[in-house]
Every structure is written in C-alpha cells, then in structure tokens.
Amino acid sequence: MAVTGIKKTLMPLMSLALALSLVACSQPAAAGIIKSDKPRDTSPGVVSSELDALVEGNSDFAFDLYHALRAEEDGNLFYSPHSISVALAMTYAGARGMTEKQMAETLNFILSQPELHLAFNALDLELAKRGEGAEGSDGEGFRLNIVNALWGQEGYPFLGDFLDVLAENYGAGLRVLDFAGETEKSRQIINDWVSQQTEERIEELIPEGVIDAATRLVLTNAIYFNAAWKYPFDEDMTRDGIFNLLDGGQVTVPMMTQSQGFNYAEGDGFQAVEIPYDGEELSMVILLPEEGRFEAFENNLDAGKMAGIIDSMQKKQVNLTMPRFEYETDFSLKQTLADMGMPVAFSGGADFSGMTGSPDLFIAEVLHQAFVSVNEAGTEAAAATAVIMRESAAPGPEVDFTMDRPFIYLIQDNQTGANLFMGNVLNSEA
C-alpha cells in the first residue's frame, strides 16, 4: 500500500526542519519592543492549493540549496531550509523591484507577496498542532518550536505596513537595540535570545564583527525540535560497527539496530526508509544509495524525485541498522544565495523600500547554524538564521573627475591636518 505516514511533499532528513514550525513569543529584557497594533491572524484565508504551492516552492529551494552547499562543503551537511526560508520571507516583505524579483526566483516564492505571507502563517499554525501528548528524546515532552524576531536600530524609521505584515503573519515585533552606539551589547542580546530559544544548542549565531555601527535591522528565526522515536532502539543492542567513507576509508562508530515494520521503498541504486517519531506526525526519511553510487544518486535528487520515492513506500519488515551521530554546522549564505540568483539584495543597488520608504538598506550577511543529535531514544535538532541588514551610503549627485591635465596633490595626517607631503604633476610621463 502507498505510504501515508507523511505528506507527499514533505522532505527527508536533510530538510527535516521543514516541518518544524511553531511561533512563540519571548522578549529579552534588555530590548524594548515596537509592536504593530495588528494582532496575529489566527485564521488566515488560505486555500489548500496556496499552501501546497508554498510547500512545493520551499521544497524546491531546499534541494537547490542542498546542491549549492554540497558544492562548497566536503563534510557532513545539516541545515534548516525552513528556517532560512522564513527569515528571508520576512526580509522579502520589504523587497521591491529587481530585488523582489530575484529573491522570489531564487527562493521559489511562487505566490504573490500577500498570498505568500498568509500561506507561511497558515503553515505555521497548522504545524503548531503537532506533538500533543508525544514524548521527547530526553524523557520530557515533545518540543517543536519556532520563534521569529526583528531587531531594529533605535530611532530608525520602519514603515507601519512592513511591521503589520510581520505581526499578522509571523508573530514578530520589532525589538529596539542601539547597533550604532552599543554594537557588541546588541550582538550579545541577539545571541542570548537565540540560545534561549534553541535550549542552548545555538549559542553564538552572530560572531564578532558581523554587526557594526551601520547595521539597521537583523531578522532572526530560531527552531528547536526534540522528539522520541515511535519505536526506540534498545541501547543494549547497540554495537560498534564499520562505516564506509566515500574515499574508501572506514571508521568505527556505534551502530543502533532494530527490526520493525517501517514504510520502505527501493529503486535503481537506492533504498529508502521512513522512521516515525512518537505520535506519528513527523518522521525521518533516510535515503541510502548503493555503494559506489552516492554521487550519481545525489546529483539527480530533487523535490520531484523525493516526492515520488515517498509516494512509492510500502510497509515492510525492516532490519534497520543505523549509526548514532551528533554534529553541528554553520554557514555564511551570502555568497551562496547571491550565486543562486539574488545578487542585487546584497549590493548597494538593493531595494528594500517596503521597509523604510526608501531603498537605503541592503543585506550584509545571512548566517545559519544547525545542530542534530540522533540516538537510541530519538532526535534533537536546532537551527537559527539571521539576516543582517545595513544602511547604504547615500549617493550624492554624480560628478566627473578626469585627471587629464596638470594637478597638485598632498599627503596629510587626517587627525591633525598636518601636510606630510605635497607636490604636483605637470607631465605624467616624466
């Protein structure tokens, strides 16, 4: 029979966090908050086709980003495409012109601006229902949380319409900080907030030097997930085993094992299994290419192929052996996203006039960190994304300065005004 454990369009291990969405509100005491007078829209008028279009576009972006990151990274890869999509969707709310067009194409935002934000809201509210009565991997309750927050320079003018969109659809108010006067303190406040939301798994999302006096807005998204397996592995059955590397080497790692009825599929060069979490509302889907065929399989993998694999799954008795693992990753996505098709957003030509009324902001950096731990009891995962926006230097009127005739020049000390050297050029060939 066809798999029913997860929706056809939901993605596997590498986009596990696509299903991790619950808006929560938490405010650091050190930051004031400017809130729109618009309440969160808890009944967005979104039809199923619009929600499907959002998930389809996010899934396409998840795989596009996977391939882009794999081209840059040699080691283990783990990230939250959903966290990145949400953070950039909030940024996109203020994008206009070519900036808006490139972001939509790169992020696969198929819907119009109003429809897109309503659909993100509907997806968030729907997924907020997950996990009732389920267990976490640590013996505590199931946790599935997402938090959105904006951090703006005090006194900087942000448009009410922009704040309304974020309040109504993302549950996000604008927390006021002084990036210009208290740069390091502002960075620490944001990092502390992210750490709290991810149960201290993402402790320093923004490193020193990224926020500076020209920073005007930081948009953040944090995700935390903790769930027990429906069928936990018996720790007494875990044994050291061999894990074969792509370069032909081998390492010895703890291997968990169990025999259970799981949704399963196989095809040309691969096997796939779906491992449900407690409550069966979320699952981990694992793809196992045949030995020697990993790169060929990976290169051909996209959202459509993944959906077909999931749809073809049937319940089988599976003797499952998998490694216990834990690792973390961090990325600067600025160049990656620019190369994927949205360079204008990172340039002085960016147009985010929907935020302030004038095109005076550009994206200086997009930072992402993720953590995952998989053991006999279940899975713990966390991720956070920060979109950091700076103010562009205001361009003055254009002038021409062509040095095609004799000129005088000097070298001065800027602080004192002392002229250290002085001269002229009467003949540039001399």
**3-state secondary structure labels for all residues of the chain:** CCCCCCCCCCCCHHHHHHHCCCECCCCCCCCEEECCCCCCCCCCCCCHHHHHHHHHHHHHHHHHHHHHHHHHCCCCCCCCHHHHHHHHHHHHCCCCHHHHHHHHHHHCCCCCHHHHHHHHHHHHHHHCCCCCCCECCCCCECEEEEEEEEEEECCCCCCHHHHHHHHHHHCCCEEEECCCCCHHHHHHHHHHHHHHHCCCCCCCCCCCCCCCCCEEEEEEEEEEEEEEECCCCCHHHCEEEEEECCCCCEEEEEEEEEEEEEEEEEECCEEEEEEEECCCCCEEEEEEECCCCHHHHHHCCCHHHHHHHHHCCEEEEEEEEEECEEEEEEEECHHHHHHHCCHHHHCCCCCCHHHHCCCCEEEEEEEEEEEEEECCCEEEEEEEEEEEEEECCCCCCCCCCCCCCCEEEEEECCCCCCEEEEEEECCCCC
Check whether 386 has a pLDDT greater than 80. Answer: yes
Q: Are residues 152 and 178 in the same domain?
A: yes
- Band the pLDDT of 34: cuts 50, 70, 90: confident
Higher per-residue pLDDT: 414 or 327 = 327
- Band the pLDDT of 74: cuts 50, 70, 90: confident
Q: Which of 215-229, 393-407, 410-424 has the highest mean pLDDT?
A: 215-229
Residue 152's alpha-carbon distances to 169, 195, 338, in angstroms, are 19, 19, 24
Number of independent structural domains in the chain: 2
The confidence score (pLDDT) of residue 127 equals 79
Check whether 356 has a pLDDT greater than 70. Answer: yes
Average pLDDT over residues 68-76: 87
Average pLDDT over residues 221-249: 92
Q: Are residues 124 and 272 in the same domain?
A: no
Q: Return the minimum-mean-pLDDT range out of 8-22, 259-273, 387-401.
A: 8-22
The confidence score (pLDDT) of residue 413 equals 46
Instruction: Report the alpha-carbon distance of residue 130 to residue 341 in Å, rounded.
Output: 34
The confidence score (pLDDT) of residue 422 equals 45
Q: Are residues 183 and 251 in the same domain?
A: no
The confidence score (pLDDT) of residue 397 equals 52
The confidence score (pLDDT) of residue 261 equals 92
Check whether 396 has a pLDDT greater than 60. Answer: no
The confidence score (pLDDT) of residue 427 equals 56
- Band the pLDDT of 87: cuts 50, 70, 90: very high
The confidence score (pLDDT) of residue 399 equals 56
Decide if 400 is inside a domain: no
Average pLDDT over residues 380-395: 86
- Band the pLDDT of 256: cuts 50, 70, 90: very high
- Amino acid at residue number 412: Q
Among residues 382, 397, 360, the alpha carbon closest in space to that of 143 is found at: 382
Q: Which residues form the domain of 19? A: 13-228+326-391
- Amino acid at residue number 250: Q
Q: Are residues 36 and 103 in the same domain?
A: yes
Instruction: Report the alpha-carbon distance of residue 273 to residue 286 in Å, rounded.
Output: 5
Q: Are residues 20 and 163 in the same domain?
A: yes
The confidence score (pLDDT) of residue 205 equals 98
Q: Are residues 106 and 244 in the same domain?
A: no
Average pLDDT over residues 30-43: 80
Average pLDDT over residues 395-421: 48
- Band the pLDDT of 291: cuts 50, 70, 90: confident
- Amino acid at residue number 140: E
Q: Are residues 300 and 366 in the same domain?
A: no
Residue 182's alpha-carbon distances to 10, 77, 186, 364, in angstroms, are 42, 35, 6, 19
At 341, which CATH number? 3.30.497.10
- Band the pLDDT of 378: cuts 50, 70, 90: very high
Q: Are residues 290 and 213 in the same domain?
A: no
* pLDDT tens digit sequence for 39-70: 999 999 899 999 999 999 999 999 999 999 98
Decide if 56 is inside a domain: yes
**Angle made by CA atoms 195, 388, 216, in degrees to the nearest 5:** 110
Boundary residue ending a domain (310, 325, 340): 325
Q: Are residues 170 and 309 in the same domain?
A: no
Q: Are residues 161 and 205 in the same domain?
A: yes
The confidence score (pLDDT) of residue 105 equals 98
Decide if 123 is inside a domain: yes
- Amino acid at residue number 25: C
- Band the pLDDT of 84: cuts 50, 70, 90: very high
Decide if 408 is inside a domain: no
Boundary residue ending a domain (274, 295, 325): 325
The confidence score (pLDDT) of residue 393 equals 64
- Amino acid at residue number 395: P
Boundary residue ending a domain (301, 325, 349): 325
Q: Are residues 275 and 137 in the same domain?
A: no
268: left (phi over 0), alpha (psi -120 to 50) or beta: beta
Decide if 61 is inside a domain: yes
Average pLDDT over residues 102-122: 97
* pLDDT tens digit sequence for 2-19: 333 333 333 333 333 333
Decide if 412 is inside a domain: no
At 264, which CATH number? 2.30.39.10
Q: What angle do helix axes 81-92 and 113-127 make, rounded to 10 degrees? A: 140
Check whether 154 has a pLDDT greater than 80. Answer: yes
pTM of the predicted model as reported, rounded to 2 decimal places: 0.86
Decide if 352 is inside a domain: yes
Q: Are residues 356 and 289 in the same domain?
A: no
Decide if 428 is inside a domain: no
The confidence score (pLDDT) of residue 75 equals 84
Check whether 23 has a pLDDT greater than 80. Answer: no
- Band the pLDDT of 148: cuts 50, 70, 90: very high
Higher per-residue pLDDT: 14 or 159 = 159
- Band the pLDDT of 38: cuts 50, 70, 90: confident
